[in-house]
Amino acid sequence: MIVTTSMLKQQYANYSNPLDKIRRDANQGIIFRLNRGLYETDRSTDPYLLAAPILSPSYLSFELALSYYGLIPERVYGITSASLLQRKNRTITNVFGRYEYSDIPPAAFSEGLCYIGEGEYIVKIASKEKAICDSLYKWPVVNSLRDLRELLFDDKRIDEEEFASCDFELMKRLAKLYHRKNLKLLIKLIEKDYSSRES
């Protein structure tokens, strides 16, 4: 269960120094510090479930989502999330793992999300179409369809069969929200190579 310093201070109100009690509990592994003022009480909690509480607003995306949907073959060890108005990439490391956050444009932030979770934890994750768009926003800019195909299918090893199963109407709608060359090229790629498969 996620708890805040404020919640713990109330819980430890009978102690002469509740903050010292919180520090002792953290040092003894009774609670686990996630970020400033935020703790998890259960060490067995799956790390991906903690990404949004650690930095909000955010949702799971980029490499983690691409791996989750089988779009890339690699297992991802960092917890990658899209964030809003942080103005810089942020990395937060704690006992649960390494959490990486990268901004995407506000207009695109709330679109194309799904929900996954376990028990009391429900978290937002990019749909596979949005995970591709988010990633293309973050990846280096390319200048042609040939370069885009190389980036997607060679450099980043996106599975072409999984890519072909995407909802291309949704992907095109999402891509228009980023106002970046990679996403404009993605729309052209869909229209040229996948127009007969669009949902």
* pLDDT tens-digit readout, 157-189: 999 999 999 999 999 999 999 999 999 999 999
* Separation of alpha carbons 152 and 135, rounded Å: 10
Q: Quick one: which of 127, 141, 138, 142 has its CA closest to 173? A: 127
* Separation of alpha carbons 12 and 19, rounded Å: 9
Q: What is the pLDDT of residues 101-119, one digit of tens each?
A: 999 999 999 999 999 988 8
What is the pLDDT at residue 131? 98
* Separation of alpha carbons 102 and 97, rounded Å: 17
Q: What mean pLDDT is predicted for residues 86-101?
A: 95
What is the pLDDT at residue 199? 46
User: What is the value of pTM for the model shown?
Assistant: 0.92
* Separation of alpha carbons 5 and 90, rounded Å: 22
Q: What are the tokens at 62?
A: 């980029």
